[in-house]
Chain A
Amino acid sequence: MSDSDNLFDKVWNQHAVGTLPSGQTQLFIGLHLIHEVTSPQAFDMLRERGLNVMYPERTIATVDHIVPTESQLRPFGDVLAEEMMSAIEKNCREFGVTLLDLQDSRQGIVHIVGPEQGLTQPGMTIACGDSHTSTHGAFGAIAFGIGTSQVAYVLATQTLAMNKPKVRRIEVNGRLASGVYAKDVILHIIRRLGVKGGIGYAYEYAGDAFDRMSMEERMTVCNMSIEGGARCGYVNPDQTTVDYIRGRPFAPQGAAFDEASRWWLSLASGPGARYDDVVRYDAADIDPTVTWGINPGQSVGIGEAIPAVASYAAEEQRGVQEALDFMELKEGQSLQGLKIDVAFIGSCTNGRISDLREAARIVQGKHVKPGVKALVVPGSQLVRKAAEEEGLHAVFQAAGFEWRGAGCSMCLAMNPDKLQGREICASSSNRNFKGRQGSPLGRTLLMSPAMVAAAAVTGSVTDVRQLS
């Protein structure tokens, strides 16, 4: 290891198996996470070629995308969803892969389960057939999403053919104001660097704002790296990371944990580390941020108006106008006071216990505005259990929220939780693409869970800092 190596270099080099004829690196994958949507065709590829899973103990499966969050009794009402559940059960059984299914108290959204179980550790390469695999970078892992053919490659060979990306260090220094969360930080970064700014890069998030963040906050930021075009994003491991992992079921124990901690901390980028690019932001410039458009870069601070179309580069104006037309919003308009129909708290971005605590603190003693459908969907069964032990479910239910089982729910419209018609949803999820939440004409406003909670009780987009 050279002093000029950043974490990405160090981890990449230790996992490089060799160079393929094409010139790509054959990269060893230390942890492979799979779920029911992007794996069935991959197992079929193995069957067609008579291949086995090379390291079955390095792949862990769970179910999240298609599971209903109201009644989780089998067989599911949706026969297609039931077929997918049967497929992953059969595939895991036949190929010797551990499956955390609905009967397992550890089930949940794959990117919540990995860290929660201590599977996600610094210095690993982590792949999953899901673009939000970048979440695991919060631990100082190289973690990225892959397609189904690549899922088959990892199953059969525990490796992938990869090009090494460049590394951009994104520093945020200073203190976040009250009411400003990790979600606002990443929405701000994506707004500044654009949804394609990260293409060809891994993002290293650094600076004292990140040093102070909890692991759950770091996960929220890393989760949305892909929305900025960066296939992976990471935070250097520190004592916060080590403390989070200690004692988790799949974490090393005893002397091995001490040895592991030393290795993990040695991987962090040092003061002499080199980068292909460095950008810096001031935490004090970040306000509660809300999207107004149809990609996650189209956002404003809550006090700002939607920018004028003419303020965009000429080639972008058509897309901006398309977004405004779809959302039925106008340039110069403020989002404050915009009426919402649905409030959704959950997803791999913001479905963790700290998210639910913060949202519950906002809704405590208040009630969901009549006419608004509001739901809280814990990211895992363990998050749900922890919330119930703290009484958060009672706070939400008393306020008129629905309290659901664990799953991806309304983030992505592959299960019964969907928007209807032209509904507008205040959402703690990660994508505001057209049709993303299940109605082709549905509209999504991305924001922090606290801001969703504020919108739920007022019935419209509200600055959470002004809520009495």
Chain B
Amino acid sequence: MQRMTSVSGRAVPLVLDDIDTDRIIPARYLRCVTFEGLGAHAFEDDRKQDPSHPFNDPRYQGAQVLLSGRNFGCGSSREHAPQSLMRWGIGAVAAESFAEIFFGNCTSLGIPAVCVDRASLESLASAVQADPTRVVTVDLEALQVRCDDLVVPCTMPEEARQSLVSGQWDFLGQLLDGAAQVRETADRLPYMRQFAAG
């Protein structure tokens, strides 16, 4: 699997707090049996209500880095949310904090989700708003987000960072490797033994 050490590209600023996954992908688009085509519906209702929404803005089309606020991706566990962002073109998210299920879903998809303090996020957003062609880099080895001269630190749980930079973010293979130990653990659990004595 590909090593995910950095993502570079133009950025789209959406520095708001508590953006929930219903807003990222409205529930009616979860009536599907594949994730194909979800990119077209990312933030659909917000975009309809606000023509100036950054995802509508021609200057931000093709952006790969999403900048957001606190508690990004809260609410529903739907993996359809990061899937829709990914299929819209997002390869990394920098935000003040993330809801945990969303964060785990991003990692499973190889999307780095890094935390950046609010002041630095606002600086990055301002730089991008002033010139949307600027390239923003999320660097998982240096733990930095860079935009020209602006270099700000970012954080990420070390386990998730490690799995991304080592190219082991698809956990299925690793989990399958542990099958023998899984059976041993299961055999020790009282409920797996139907609470039989001994």
Contacts and interface: CB of A to CB of B under 8 A. Distances in A.
Contact of B27 (A83, A252, A414): A414
Interface stretch (B32-40, B54-62, B137-145): B32-40
Interface stretch (B5-13, B123-131, B175-183): B175-183
Given A153-B171, A153-B172, A158-B182, A131 B77 contact: yes
B178 A150 contact: no
A23 interface: yes
B75 interface: yes
B16 interface: yes
A436 interface: yes
Interface in A113-145: 121, 123-124, 129-131, 133, 144-145
Given A195-B71, A196-B70, A200-B100, A315 B118 contact: yes
B51 interface: no
B169 to A, nearest CB: 8
A30 interface: yes
A15 interface: yes
Given A22-B162, A87-B33, A147 B105 contact: yes
B189 interface: yes
A414 B172 contact: no
B168 A22 contact: yes
B49 A37 contact: no
Contacts, number: 225
A65 B32 CA distance: 12
A163 to B, nearest CB: 6
A252 B195 contact: yes
Contact of A199 (B27, B97, B188, B191): B97
A87 B141 CA distance: 42
Contacts of B196: 256, 259
Contacts of A148: 79-80, 105
A95 B181 CA distance: 23
Interface residues of A, number: 86
Given A121-B191, A195-B74, A199-B71, A159 B18 contact: no
Contacts of A87: 33
Q: Which of A123, A157, A259, A412 counts the most B-chain CB atoms under 10 A from its CB? A: A157
A436 B27 CA distance: 8
Interface in A12-52: 14-18, 20-24, 26, 28, 30, 37-38, 40-41, 44-45, 49, 51
Given A23-B159, A55-B186, A153 B101 contact: no
A26 B172 CA distance: 11
Contacts of B98: 199
A146 interface: yes
Contacts of B168: 21-22
A17 B188 CA distance: 11
A346 interface: no
A361 B181 CA distance: 53
A319 interface: yes
Given A196-B71, A252-B194, A161 B33 contact: no
B158 interface: yes
Interface size class of B (residues with CB under 8 A): 35 or more
B182 A145 contact: no
B84 to A, nearest CB: 13
A243 B138 CA distance: 53
Given A16-B185, A54-B182, A196-B74, A159 B160 contact: no
Given A17-B182, A157-B179, A22 B159 contact: yes
A467 to B, nearest CB: 32
B39 to A, nearest CB: 15
Contact of A431 (B22, B158, B175, B186): B22
Contacts of B185: 15-17, 28
B100 A20 contact: no
Contacts of A431: 20, 22, 75-76
Interface in B77-123: 77-80, 82, 97-101, 104-105, 108-109, 118
Contact of B49 (A150, A152, A158, A440): A440
Contacts of A23: 158-159, 162
A38 B78 contact: yes
Given A17-B185, A65-B30, A318-B16, 18 more contacts: A21-B166, A22-B159, A22-B160, A24-B159, A26-B174, A41-B34, A54-B179, A129-B79, A146-B104, A148-B79, A157-B175, A157-B178, A196-B97, A227-B75, A229-B100, A231-B100, A256-B194, A259-B197
27 contacts: A15-B189, A21-B168, A22-B162, A22-B163, A23-B158, A44-B33, A44-B34, A80-B31, A80-B32, A84-B32, A145-B77, A145-B101, A147-B101, A150-B104, A152-B172, A157-B175, A157-B176, A158-B182, A163-B159, A229-B71, A229-B99, A231-B100, A431-B20, A434-B23, A434-B46, A436-B27, A440-B45
